[in-house]
Structure 1
């Protein structure tokens, strides 16, 4: 109960370079910020890649290969590769890098949903790259596809075939029931690591009552077979993570989820957010788990069994 896993989502695919000069986009920037987050206390690094030429979200394994070996050698943290990639990518593209590198852990979105980013475009007046504005504005007609067939394929290709375990990302209560469906089929086994996601337009809102409801539902569906973590987008990042820690859960921060460190102030890097949530959880009497402690808690196969 006292050990708390801090995950850092380093860059993601939602924010664009025009939103913050501190968003890491090149392999060196991603590696440096990931190493800083690990040093600050993150046991898990949730990872995406970007095209270093313009910061566009990338599924190219070569863009991952430009920084993953450095992290494996120097960080010691659990390297968690996205299977979500970007909502505009095909499933084939999204799976290319995790299939190539067979990581200890992958993220897995537990349902299709609207994934609306277009309000963010209204706040930007100075665009760095031509792709950014249409990428954001066109999300008012975007469905992030994660069908039961997609989920089953990811579980087989990465779980059954490559030994990865999953950060099950649940953006709404129905996603918990989808996870239970795969649990009943024997496609997933405990311990489950469920990431409650709040504040994305198209998913459940960042309301404390919703966190309690998701936890109560997960308790009913999974009993002692799961642990939960919380991430919240934007200004709700720290308040919802603090509530999760107080409830005995785990936490996720990082520039993928919020670009800010406090109201009106951009975070200088990922480590700043990790250090802040670490101070908070330690004040609550929780001890940040080391990477190896996290591996034991989540039943991971170990970094030596990856192809990074």
Structure 2
């Protein structure tokens, strides 16, 4: 389809004997916010780097921004903004100096105007002379995003961009992400935060190089086929091990003062919970499985090939 900004099939990447990404197939629409989820070491960063031209796939095919991901990586890089996990600008330069340096690397003709425009658009104008090393985590994150946007990219690749920042900074960052999406910029973002994942238009779950699930948050949850109950009450403390031993229980996780117990055999698990509920000191109610329930279920069914 003409509106696919990313359209790849069967991408593979090895580092020595380790098969880091296995047969990745992915399609992302123009203006979409697409979320990457998965445990550490699952291949998210490697996948992002292949898509933006920083790594060449060992095999597979596809396009990014209309360019071949294997043969035209240089053309892709000119139209992509890539924000790494680690702050990679210069602490001893001011915000304006950092952005000017980045603009020079892109070979931009009117660097000063681009820097001034970007400082204003990202709410950084009042800090233009402040040294980057003195910024808080949230402001460093905003500066890094400004550096990605200087050259007016069509695609943003954000690799765990809000790790280590406070909740308000995360919320403000996501407001900016949705503003950029509304302006037509396509965004691929990896995250470990479930509330952020739910802000994405669509999601993909990657575990140890394999794409295991994709779709909207609702589709990913429905695809697990989970039935979930919330167990609460004074007697629920210390009950996790008992719940894990129930017939049909596949996972138990704490959610505030309650425990969520889930399984794919709803009838069997429901019967076991009914029997447990006859104790009278527990409150047990069926609830809709959350994205976090689905995420935990996927993790439990994904085996790290390097473990054990």
Higher RCO, 1 vs 2 (CA within 8 Å, ≥6 residues apart): 1
Query: Greater CA radius of gyration, 1 or 2?
Result: 2
Please say whether Structure 1 and Structure 2 have the same fold, judged by a TM-score greater than 0.5. Answer: no
What is the TM-score with the length of structure 2 in the denominator? 0.34
| TM-score normalised over the length of structure 1 | 0.34
Higher-helix-fraction structure:
1
* Greater percentage in strand: 2
